């Protein structure tokens, strides 16, 4: 049994202990015997993007798993998610789970452990060991490169050995052949490196907008469709924002297309600073962008949209001696049970965008809420 090494009241000591657990760099969840959360620390909420309104209810372990599935972190296909969640829940319910590595879709690697408590509850911990994973990946790449080099060297050595008798009589020819072989080997290595670089560039071009670094239209729609499919079975809110820079043509006409490109990059930087890591940002064409916000209620999504609008309006692009003001019109739509494609939600958000422009630009219009409700949500 733990011993209290102080004469202070137990409540004060427990309060200090809870505050200390909030400072550790490990996500911690305490479950009761029904596998409902009794305590979650700050690092856990940061690690899994846990919304405060969910954590404050003392959710069940299953609800925490479903939230993580909704924000697209588990590395399994959508069709296999229910089985995967069942297995994770069953492992915790059975008792101790030894340290287990979990690779997430965003590139992180976590070390998970479950320890049973005397009161039949559970202590769950998640430690971020991504740096260890990256170091292991580097070691593996170096080992693979060394093995390939050894194979090439053995091949060259065997070839030279089989021709030793002939090369002995033709020393000058052998020296020239060896020099040419070395040149050819360097040329081959150079061509392989160029081909790999080209393949990486092609993969990036297939998914990323070259100017702004956002998702391109095709990749955005594909990931958006997956986000919609994940949101439906766990009944989580999903919002879509359509954004269009106001009077963008005037910037191009007055300052030139190079400054217009700089304005697009500046605009995207403001959007990135105002969204979560799990949100999807894509360029649909020209100065038109879209954002998908998974696992979010309507009023919270409207507040995010209003913060983005205000941030863009308050942060002009500085170019030389000019401060170029930029504003954005935003249309918002929430996914519905009847939606089968992400394009359906985008269409409603696009209608909200046109309504925002018709109403004078530099504003947010929701396709799902009356104007009075929008004003109250933005004020909150």
Residues 6+ apart with CB under 8 A from 208: 214, 215, 216, 219
Q: Which residue has the higher pLDDT, 73 or 213?
A: 213
pLDDT, mean of residues 318-344: 95
Residue 3 in domain: no
Q: Are residues 225 and 194 in the same domain?
A: no
Residue pointed to by tokens 């101790």: 96
Q: Are residues 145 and 240 in the same domain?
A: no
Phi/psi zone of residue 8: left (φ > 0), alpha (ψ -120 to 50 degrees), beta? beta
**Residue 179, pLDDT score:** 81
pLDDT, mean of residues 112-130: 91
CB 280 within 8 A of CB 227: yes
Question: Residue 260: is its pLDDT beyond 70?
Answer: yes
pLDDT, mean of residues 49-73: 83
**Residue 170, pLDDT score:** 59
Domain residues for 238? 217-379
Could you give the residue numbers annotated as active site?
Answer: 287
In sequence order, what DSSP letters do the residues of 211-267 get, joined into one string? Answer: TT-SB-HHHHHHHHHHHHHHHTTTT--EEEEEEEETTHHHHHHHH-HHHHHHHHHHH
Q: Are residues 330 and 268 in the same domain?
A: yes
Closest CA to 296 of 50, 45, 77: 50
The percentage of residues in the chain with a pLDDT greater than 70, rounded to a whole number, is 81
Residue 311 in domain: yes
Q: Are residues 237 and 357 in the same domain?
A: yes
Residue 181 in domain: yes
How high does pLDDT run on average in the chain? 86
Phi/psi zone of residue 329: left (φ > 0), alpha (ψ -120 to 50 degrees), beta? beta
Question: Residue 164: is its pLDDT beyond 80?
Answer: no
282, HSE (Cβ side, Cα atoms, 13 Å): 21
pLDDT, mean of residues 346-368: 96
> What CATH number has the domain bearing residue 250?
3.30.70.270
Q: Are residues 222 and 357 in the same domain?
A: yes
pLDDT band at residue 48, thresholds of 50, 70 and 90?
confident
Q: Which residue has the higher pLDDT, 319 or 234?
A: 319
258-293 b/e (C-beta count within 10 Å ≥ 16 → b): ebbebbbebbbebbeebbeebbbbbbbeebbbbbbb
How do residues 102-120 score in pLDDT, each as one tens digit? 888 888 999 999 999 988 8
Residue 135 in domain: no
Residue 161 in domain: yes
Q: Are residues 350 and 251 in the same domain?
A: yes
Question: Residue 292: is its pLDDT beyond 80?
Answer: yes
- Count of domains forming the chain: 3
**Residue 52, pLDDT score:** 83
Q: Which of 105, 128, 151 is the last residue of a domain?
A: 128
Pairing of strands 238-245, 328-334: antiparallel
Q: Which of 178, 207, 236 is the last residue of a domain?
A: 207
Q: Are residues 235 and 200 in the same domain?
A: no
Question: Residue 1: is its pLDDT beyond 60?
Answer: no
Q: Which of 128, 153, 178 is the last residue of a domain?
A: 128
pLDDT, mean of residues 84-102: 91
> What CATH number has the domain bearing residue 85?
3.30.450.20
Question: Residue 197: is its pLDDT beyond 70?
Answer: no
Question: Residue 30: is its pLDDT beyond 80?
Answer: yes
pLDDT band at residue 334, thresholds of 50, 70 and 90?
very high
Tell me the C-alpha distance between 157 and 270, whole Å. Answer: 58
This model's pTM is above 0.75:
no
**Residue 185, pLDDT score:** 74
**Residue 14, pLDDT score:** 67
pLDDT band at residue 162, thresholds of 50, 70 and 90?
low
Q: Are residues 228 and 277 in the same domain?
A: yes
The percentage of residues in the chain with a pLDDT greater than 90, rounded to a whole number, is 52
Q: Are residues 370 and 228 in the same domain?
A: yes
Residue 200 in domain: yes
**Residue 177, pLDDT score:** 65
Q: Are residues 325 and 259 in the same domain?
A: yes
Question: Residue 258: is its pLDDT beyond 60?
Answer: yes
Residue 145 in domain: yes
pLDDT, mean of residues 187-207: 65
How do residues 204-251 score in pLDDT, each as one tens digit? 557 999 999 999 999 999 999 999 999 876 577 999 999 999 999 999
Q: Are residues 96 and 231 in the same domain?
A: no
Question: Residue 371: is its pLDDT beyond 90?
Answer: no
**Residue 268, pLDDT score:** 98
Residues 6+ apart with CB under 8 A from 325: 313, 316
Q: Are residues 315 and 226 in the same domain?
A: yes
Question: Residue 4: is its pLDDT beyond 70?
Answer: no
Residue 1 in domain: no
**Residue 64, pLDDT score:** 87
């Amino acid at each position: 049994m733990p011993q209290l090494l102080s004469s202070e009241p137990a409540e004060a000591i427990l309060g200090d202990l809870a505050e200390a657990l909030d400072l550790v760099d490990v996500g911690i969840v305490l479950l009761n015997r029904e596998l409902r959360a009794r305590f979650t620390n700050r690092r856990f909420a940061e690690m899994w993007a846990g919304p405060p309104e969910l954590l404050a209810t003392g959710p069940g372990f299953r609800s925490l798993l479903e939230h993580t599935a909704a924000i697209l972190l588990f590395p399994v296909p959508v069709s296999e998610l229910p089985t995967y969640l069942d297995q994770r829940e069953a492992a915790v319910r059975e008792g101790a789970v030894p340290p287990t590595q979990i690779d997430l879709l965003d590139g992180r690697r976590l070390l998970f452990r479950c320890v049973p408590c005397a009161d039949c509850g559970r202590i769950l911990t998640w430690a971020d060991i991504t740096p260890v994973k990256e170091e292991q990946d580097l070691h593996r790449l170096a080992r693979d490169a060394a093995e390939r080099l050894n194979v090439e060297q053995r091949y060259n050595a065997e070839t030279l050995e089989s021709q030793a008798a002939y090369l002995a009589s033709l020393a000058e020819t052998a020296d020239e052949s060896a020099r040419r072989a070395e040149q050819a080997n360097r040329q081959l290595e150079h061509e392989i490196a160029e081909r790999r670089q080209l393949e990486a560039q092609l993969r990036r071009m297939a998914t990323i907008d070259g100017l702004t670094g956002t998702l391109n239209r095709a990749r955005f729609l594909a990931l958006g469709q997956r986000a919609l499919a994940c949101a439906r079975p766990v009944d989580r809110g999903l919002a879509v924002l359509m954004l269009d820079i106001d009077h963008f043509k005037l910037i191009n006409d007055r300052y030139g297309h190079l400054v217009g490109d700089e304005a697009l990059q500046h605009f995207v930087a403001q959007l990135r600073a105002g969204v979560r890591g799990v949100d999807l940002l894509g360029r649909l064409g020209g100065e038109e962008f879209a954002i998908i916000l998974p696992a979010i209620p309507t009023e919270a999504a409207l507040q995010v949209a209003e913060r983005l609008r205000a941030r863009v309006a308050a942060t002009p692009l500085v170019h030389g001696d000019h401060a170029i003001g930029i504003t954005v019109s935003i249309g918002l739509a929430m996914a519905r049970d009847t939606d089968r494609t992400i394009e359906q939600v985008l269409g409603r958000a696009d209608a909200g965008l046109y309504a925002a422009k018709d109403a004078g630009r530099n504003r947010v219009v929701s396709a799902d809420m009356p104007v009075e409700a929008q004003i109250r949500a933005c004020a909150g």
